[in-house]
Amino acid sequence: MIETIKKLLGIGPKVDLGQLLANGAIIVDVRSPAEYAGGHLNRSVNIPLNALQGGMSKLKKEVPVITCCASGMRSSAAKSTLLANGFKEVHNGGSWYNLKKFDK
């Protein structure tokens, strides 16, 4: 119970996004197609937040997902949506630009 509360509040150990990506996690960029075209991570998939309900069939629920956007707000909403729809492991990566260090 306490671990669940800590997780909801974002308290506790930080997740190693680099390690998740090395182990096969997928990056879902939830910005608009125009924003995505203006710059994105090579390994990311663009599923805009407003199309996420219909686009999540492109993803596997058992594969870890890292969401990103411009600032972290839409990626937070995307994380909640994916978790509510049965995805097992979803992390808010915040701004796509902050994830560039992991892009190969």
The beta strands (E) that lie in the chain are given as 26-29, 44-46, 65-69, 90-95
* Contact between residue 45 and residue 84 where contact means Cβ atoms under 8 Å apart: no
Predicted pLDDT of residue 66: 97
Q: Which CATH code, of 3.40.50.2000, 3.40.250.10, 2.60.40.3950, 3.10.110.10, is assigned to 15-102? A: 3.40.250.10
Q: Tell me the average pLDDT of the chain.
A: 90
Domain range annotation of the chain: 15-102
Predicted pLDDT of residue 40: 96
> What is the tens place of the pLDDT at every residue in 58-81?
999 999 999 999 999 999 999 999
Span 34-55, average pLDDT: 96
